[in-house]
Amino acid sequence: MREKKIFTKDFIILFSASFFVALIFYLLMTSFALYTVERFAASESEAGLAASIFIIGALFARLLAGKYIEVIGRKKLLYGSLILYLVAILFYFLANSLSLLLIIRFIHGMGFGASTTAMSTAVMDMIPYERKGEGTGYYTLSSVFATALGPFLALYLTQNYDFQTIFIICTIFTVFSLLLSLFAKIPEAEIFREKLKKQKSGFHIQDFIEMKALPISFMMVIIGIAYASIVSFINVYAIEIQLQDIASLFFIVYAIVLLFTRPITGRLLDLKGDNIVIYPAIIFLAICLVLLSQAENGIVLLLSGAFLALGFGTLVSSGQAIAVKEAPKERVGLAVSTFYICLDGGVGIGPYLIGFIIPFVGFRGMYFILALFVFLTVILYYFLHGKKAAMRRKKQLQEVS
C-alpha cells in the first residue's frame, strides 16, 4: 500500500507563503525596537511595547479566527488576513507618532495571527492523518528558515539601509505571500448546517478554545516563556559574557539542527507515539537552558542552540500535530488556534515576567531557574497528555499483536 503524499503542489505553495509571512515577523521583531528609539525617541519600555503589541494583536486574531474560520471560510480568511497584513505594512510609511505606530503594530499582528491560523489549518487538512507528525514537521520548517534568515537580514539592513527600505522589502515579501496563496487550492471543512449555525452564534468558551487540544496546548505556555527568555535576552546576555560575535551564529545552528531532525522526530511521532518524542524534547530544552546558564565559551553557547532545536523546535511541531489529532475534523482550525494562543501567550508574557527575575539573580540564574521549571514540565505533560497517550499506544500494540 502506497503512502499518501505530503509534498503536494498546494502544500509547497502554502509552505512558501508561510515562510514569507514568518520572515517579515522575525525581520521586524528583531529591528523594531531600534526603529522606535531612532524614529520616536522611545524609552526601552515603549520599544518593548511596540514589539509585544504585535503578539497581542496576533492572539486577539487567533481567538476570533479559531471560532469563525469555518464560518467565514478558510480561503476568504486567508486572503483577507494577508491583505490586512499588507495594508498594515503600507501604513508604517505614514506613521508619524508612537501611538499611531502601536495601533498599526496591533493591526499588523492581527493579520499575522489570522493568516498563519488559516494557512496552518489548511495544511493540517492536506496532510494524511497517518503522517500528521511528519507532515507538520516539514511544514513548520518554513518558520525555522525564517527564524534563521530574519534576524540576519534585519542586522544587515539596519546597518546598511534606512527603515523605509526595510518596509519596502517587507511589502514585497507580503505581496509574494499573497500571490502564492492565490495559486493554492484551500480545502474547506465539511460541516453540517446545525454545527455551522451553532458556531455562528453564542459566546461560550468552546467557541474560542478546542477543549481536546487544550491539554497539550496549555503545556506550551511554559515552553513559550522559556523560548522568550532566549529570543529576547540572548543578545544582551552574549554581550555580558563577551560572546556577542559567536552569538550571531546561535540561530543558524538552531535552524541547521532542526532542518535535519524535525522530519525524523515527526516520523517517529507517527510510528512510535507521542511520548517517545515529547519526553526527550522537554529534557533537551531543559539542557539547553542549563548550558546557557553555564556558558563560558562559544562552543557551549552554540551547543545550547543545537539543544534548543531538539527541544523547543521539536515541541512546537509535535505539539501542534498532537493538538490537531486530538480534535474533531471540523474543529481543526480551532485546535490550531488554541495551540498558538497558548504558545504565543507564553512568548508574549515571558519577557515581562522574566524582567522581574533578572535584577535579583542575573541572566545565568534566570536561565537555570527556567531550566528547572521546564524539567518539571515532564510531570505536567504526564498528567495532561502523556498518561493517556501511553494507554492509547498500549491498546494499539495489543490490537496489532
pLDDT tens digits, 121-174: 899 888 887 888 888 888 888 887 887 788 778 878 887 889 999 999 999 999
* Rounded Cα–Cα distance for residues 214 and 184 (Å): 30
pLDDT reported for residue 202: 57
Residue range(s) defining the domain that contains residue 310: 209-401
Q: Considering only CA atoms, which of 127, 129, 133, 91 is closest in space to residue 111?
A: 91
For the stretch 282-335, pLDDT in tens is 999 999 999 999 999 999 999 999 999 999 999 998 998 899 889 887 788 788
In this structure, are 111 and 51 located in the same domain?
A: yes
What confidence category does residue 1 fall into, taking pLDDT thresholds of 50, 70 and 90? very low
What confidence category does residue 345 fall into, taking pLDDT thresholds of 50, 70 and 90? confident
- Average pLDDT over every residue of 89-109: 94
In this structure, are 114 and 168 located in the same domain?
A: yes
* CATH code for position 176: 1.20.1250.20
Query: 321 with 136: CB under 8 angstroms?
Result: yes
* Rounded Cα–Cα distance for residues 311 and 331 (Å): 28
In this structure, are 186 and 69 located in the same domain?
A: yes
Residue ranges of the alpha helices (H) in 41-97?
Answer: 44-72, 74-92
End-to-end CA distance of the chain: 20
Q: Does 3 reside within a domain? A: no
Share of the chain above pLDDT 70, in %: 94
Task: Provide the b/e sequence for 263-282 (b: ≥16 CB within 10 Å).
Answer: bebbbbbbeebbbebbebbb
Q: Does 328 reside within a domain? A: yes
Query: 220 with 342: CB under 8 angstroms?
Result: yes
Write down the mean pLDDT value for the chain. Answer: 87
In this structure, are 166 and 41 located in the same domain?
A: yes
In this structure, are 159 and 228 located in the same domain?
A: no
- Is pLDDT above 80 for 357? yes
* Rounded Cα–Cα distance for residues 104 and 95 (Å): 8
pLDDT reported for residue 53: 85
Query: Helix 275-294 vs helix 332-381: angle between axes, to the nearest 10 degrees?
Result: 70
Residue at a domain's end among 203, 221, 243? 203
Q: Does 229 reside within a domain? A: yes
Q: Considering only CA atoms, which of 392, 387, 393, 390 is closest in space to residue 215?
A: 387
- Is pLDDT above 70 for 199? no
In this structure, are 313 and 329 located in the same domain?
A: yes
- Is pLDDT above 80 for 205? no
The residues, ordered by sequence, that sit 6+ positions from 59 with a Cβ below 8 Å of its Cβ are 109, 113, 341, 344, 345, 348
* Rounded Cα–Cα distance for residues 132 and 134 (Å): 6
Residue at a domain's end among 168, 203, 238? 203
In this structure, are 186 and 228 located in the same domain?
A: no
Residue at a domain's end among 141, 172, 203? 203
The residues, ordered by sequence, that sit 6+ positions from 153 with a Cβ below 8 Å of its Cβ are 23, 27
Alpha-carbon distance values, 9 to 71, 143, 246, 376 (Å):
26, 19, 39, 42
- Average pLDDT over every residue of 111-120: 93
* Rounded Cα–Cα distance for residues 183 and 114 (Å): 19
- Is pLDDT above 90 for 182? yes
Q: Considering only CA atoms, which of 157, 165, 65 is closest in space to residue 110?
A: 65
- The domain total for the chain is 2
What confidence category does residue 44 fall into, taking pLDDT thresholds of 50, 70 and 90? low
Query: 240 with 292: CB under 8 angstroms?
Result: no
pLDDT reported for residue 276: 94
Cα torsion angle, 69, 74, 78, 80, sign? negative
